[in-house]
Amino acid sequence: MTLMDWLALPFIVGGAFFLFVSAVGLIRLPDFFSRAHAVGKSETLGSLLILIGLMLHHGFALESGQLLLVVIFVAVTNPTGIHALSRAALRAGVDIWVHPRDRGMRVRAGDEINEPQGAEAGASSEEGISDTGDAR
């Protein structure tokens, strides 16, 4: 391996890491918008790092110019396509996941307010208080 290969290796390993993060996010996250967030940012960054690593590996040649075209095109079009898809999903009314801590807030303008989840917590705390009272 030459010096340029050793320069290219951190870019390629970092790109592989970000691609792995994007695939895990696409599988594990709970709703469409968080998955779009994982794919739109992590996968773009991983692709750019791997393509820049390939440019460093190849050196100064015509193919590096082609790789630069691919870099520019991926950097512009990947977030654009996912943004168009997310806007279509938002207008179509795809369900938005809400953390249980944030139930009772309005997610979007015009939505009905979510079911408040404080009743169980209040009941359990009252139960704890009554338990201590019984112990005394």
Partner 1 sequence: MIEVLTGLAAFISILIAVTFYRVLVGPTLYDRLLGVGAIGTFSVLLLALIGFIYERPSGFLDLAITYAILNFVGVVAIAKFLDLDSRDSSEPAGGSKE
CA nearest to 49, candidates 96, 10, 93 = 10
Residue 131 host element (H or E): helix 118-135
Q: DSSP of 66-90, one letter per residue?
A: HHHHHHHHHHHHHHHHHHHHHHHHH
Site string for partner 1, 1-30 (x = CB under 8 A): x---x--xx--x---x--xx-xx--xx---
Two structure tokens written together for 45: 């960054």
* Residue 54 interacts with partner 1 (CB under 8 A): yes or no: yes
Work out the number of other CB atoms within 10 angstroms of the CB of residue 22.
22
107 neighbors 96 (Cβ within 8 angstroms)? yes
Q: Between residues 3 and 121, which has the closer beta carbon with respect to partner 1? A: 3
Interface positions, 56-115, toward partner 1 (CB under 8 A): 57-58, 62-63, 66-67, 69-70, 73-74, 77-78, 80-82, 84-89, 91-95, 108, 110-111
Instruction: Please give the residue ranges that form the binding site for partner 1 (CB under 8 A).
Output: 1, 5, 8-9, 12, 16, 19-20, 22-23, 26-27, 32, 35-36, 39, 43-44, 47, 50-51, 54, 57-58, 62-63, 66-67, 69-70, 73-74, 77-78, 80-82, 84-89, 91-95, 108, 110-111
